[in-house]
Amino acid sequence: MKETLQPGLTHTMTYVVPATRTVPHLLPESGDFAAMPHVLATGYLVGIVEWACIETVKGHLEDGEITLGTHVDLSHQAPTVPGATVTIEVTLTGVEGRALTFDVTARDDHAVISTGSHRRGVVNHDRFVSRLPHPQVGARR
């Protein structure tokens, strides 16, 4: 981790929701999900928040370091339809050793859709992958 990885870093990211990020597409093998309305799935919202947090710390990690999600505490308080733009605002609020804490707010064209926090840990990519029980696709060599 570089010395620049400090609380106070912010990032704003926008994401236009495609139809493939709606609830029926989350786990299409589930008939229950397939029958749900076509609105942004909470699972995909979590992924978008993680992406925004990753973007927040880009340039503040050493070569070979990545961050991995360790905790999610997010509301999902309003539906977002395909074609809407979601804006994610992230602030790095804590750096404790290799543990990072982010405050998050997400809104679409009509309302705040999510608030909460997310934690990520800084790890060495190659060391992490080498400890996995099976070879992984995308592992760097």
Q: So which residues are the catalytic ones?
A: 42, 50, 76
Q: Residue 51 contacts by C-beta under 8 Å, 6 or more apart in sequence?
A: 13, 15
Q: What is the distance between the alpha carbons of residues 84 and 110, in angstroms, rounded to a whole number?
A: 9
The H or E element spanning position 67 is strand 65-74
DSSP string computed for 99-110:
EEEEEEEEE-SS
